[in-house]
């Protein structure tokens, strides 16, 4: 199976004539369609919303499109709260899920009326102090089931018992009691235990776990949980051999669990929300880069004009990203390694392995697929490498620059040194 991209050779050459490589480009039509598919899948659930995980792609132009499609924002930092506010999201359209949180971030989240989701029982006091003795009326806690939940081998987020996130099973009832004593009247429950998960059953299992915990809290503590958040984690079929996740199967499985566990109880109607990032923007973004140098030593290296600064997932997680060589589809292949120019031996888009690709020549344009989430946003400036900009391929076929390239001036901006 091959993976497609939303432009032909002529179109990409036209774009490159105005915006030289490298750059990230996002497909607006596909992005809207993904957002609609997600909303449609959960249409059985009244008031369902996906809070787009801003960390996946903190570009306000994309966030604005997602807002138009009915999404809120899951912010994890001050910058992400500000972005959510600037695109016009209000109050509980914003969820604030952070950890090890500084007081000014809590203050901002409170000012915006966001749903504050606490990562630890100790944060109850930290939040109250940050707010000068006040406490939000609506509060949510992030649940970490620890050894109570076994996740699969390939789960990027790791085993819950080793994760730094969330409140334990034993602590959770106490956390709600304390929050209630501080004045909270409305309650949410959150978790994030799977990441990049293509197995539908894992998502249904998360829902079961959360529904059961909401019932337990209602019985034991007497708090009425009104919103459950399953977190993000819907997977992307990065490899051509991966099977895309079946949203309908996930949603119908969760619906069946809702009917089995929640329907007819005091928690019904219970609002269901998610905070997917990867699934939403991931497959709808591409990193476009050109071959700059060829080097034949123990491997056939192809040096491109992008590097880990623009996409660190292959270097950091050994994550597969499919690569197409524009205009050479169907040509005979040979093993090659696609590398950036960073002084790091994991700056290899093909993950420290050779990949069979059509023979690449200097000047060839490469499309690195599925870079729309945790791509540009995870970039960094090690080695003085500058991160590149972002383009939007609009629904009418025109292209808009939605973030410019970083410049040396940007890189030196925090230094007060003569001549820089």
Ligand X SMILES: Cc1ncc(COP(=O)(O)O)c(C=O)c1O
Applying CB under 6 A, the residues found at the interface with ligand X are 53, 56, 74, 97, 192, 195-196, 231-234, 275-279, 373
Closest CA to 39 of 29, 31, 50: 50
Given the DSSP bridges, would you call strands 285-296 and 355-358 parallel, antiparallel or unpaired? Answer: unpaired
Helix axes 200-221, 172-181, angle to 10 degrees: 50
Q: By C-beta, is 7 or 26 nearer to ligand X?
A: 26
Q: By C-beta, is 22 or 232 nearer to ligand X?
A: 232
Closest CA to 197 of 148, 161, 272, 247: 247
**Nearest distance from C-beta of residue 74 to ligand X, angstroms:** 5
Q: By C-beta, is 274 or 306 nearer to ligand X?
A: 274
**Nearest distance from C-beta of residue 10 to ligand X, angstroms:** 33
Instruction: State the alpha helices, DSSP H only, in 169-223.
Output: 172-181, 200-221
Q: By C-beta, is 277 or 315 nearer to ligand X?
A: 277
DSSP string, 100-125: S--HHHHHHHHHHTPEEEESSTTHHH
**Nearest distance from C-beta of residue 277 to ligand X, angstroms:** 3
**Nearest distance from C-beta of residue 87 to ligand X, angstroms:** 18
Helix axes 78-86, 103-112, angle to 10 degrees: 20
* Largest CA-CA distance found in the chain, in angstroms, rounded: 71
Q: What are phi and psi of 160, to 5 degrees?
A: -55, -35
**Nearest distance from C-beta of residue 76 to ligand X, angstroms:** 7
**Nearest distance from C-beta of residue 21 to ligand X, angstroms:** 26
Question: Residues with Cβ < 8 Å from 21, sequence gap 6 or more?
Answer: 288, 289, 290, 305, 306, 365
Q: Are 349 and 311 in contact (CB under 8 A)?
A: yes
Q: Which residue is nearest to ligand X (CB)?
A: 232
Q: By C-beta, is 143 or 187 nearer to ligand X?
A: 143
Q: By C-beta, is 365 or 378 nearer to ligand X?
A: 378
């Amino acid at each position: 199976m091959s993976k497609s991209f939303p432009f032909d050779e002529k179109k990409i050459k036209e774009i490159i004539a105005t915006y030289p490589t490298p750059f990230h480009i996002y497909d607006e039509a596909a992005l809207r369609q993904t957002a609609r598919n997600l909303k449609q899948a959960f249409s059985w659930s009244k008031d369902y919303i996906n809070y787009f995980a801003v960390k996946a792609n903190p570009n306000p132009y994309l966030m604005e499109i997602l807002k138009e499609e009915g999404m809120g924002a899951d912010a994890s930092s001050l910058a992400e709260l500000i972005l959510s506010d600037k695109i016009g999201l209000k109050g509980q359209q914003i969820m604030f899920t952070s950890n090890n949180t500084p007081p000014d971030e809590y203050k901002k989240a409170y000012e915006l009326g966001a749903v504050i989701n606490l990562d630890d029982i100790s944060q109850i006091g930290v939040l109250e102090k940050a707010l000068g003795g006040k406490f939000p009326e609506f509060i949510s806690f992030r649940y970490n089931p620890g050894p109570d939940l076994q996740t699969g081998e390939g789960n990027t987020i790791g085993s819950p018992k080793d994760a730094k996130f969330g409140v334990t099973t034993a602590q959770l009832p106490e956390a709600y009691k304390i929050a209630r004593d501080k004045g909270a009247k409305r309650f949410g429950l959150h978790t994030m235990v799977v990441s990049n998960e293509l197995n539908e059953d894992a998502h249904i299992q998360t829902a079961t776990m959360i529904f059961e915990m909401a019932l337990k809290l209602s019985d034991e503590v007497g708090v009425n949980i009104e919103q459950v958040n399953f977190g993000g984690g819907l997977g992307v079929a990065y490899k051509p051999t991966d099977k895309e996740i079946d949203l309908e199967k996930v949603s119908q499985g969760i619906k069946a669990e809702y009917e089995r566990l929640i329907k007819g109880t005091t928690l019904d109607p219970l609002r269901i929300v998610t905070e997917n990032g990867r699934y939403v923007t991931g497959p709808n973004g591409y990193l476009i880069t050109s071959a700059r140098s060829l080097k034949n030593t123990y491997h056939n290296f192809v040096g491109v004009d992008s590097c880990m600064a623009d996409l660190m997932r292959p270097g950091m997680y050994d994550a597969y990203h499919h690569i197409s060589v524009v205009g050479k589809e169907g040509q005979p292949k040979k093993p090659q390694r696609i590398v950036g120019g960073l002084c790091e031996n994991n700056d290899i888009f093909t993950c420290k392995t050779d990949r069979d690709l059509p023979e690449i020549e200097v000047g060839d344009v490469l499309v690195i697929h599925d870079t729309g989430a945790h791509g540009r946003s995870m970039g960094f400036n090690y080695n003085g490498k500058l991160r590149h900009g972002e383009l939007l391929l609009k629904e009418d076929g025109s292209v808009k620059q939605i973030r410019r390239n970083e410049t040396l001036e940007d890189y030196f901006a925090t230094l007060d040194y003569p001549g820089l």
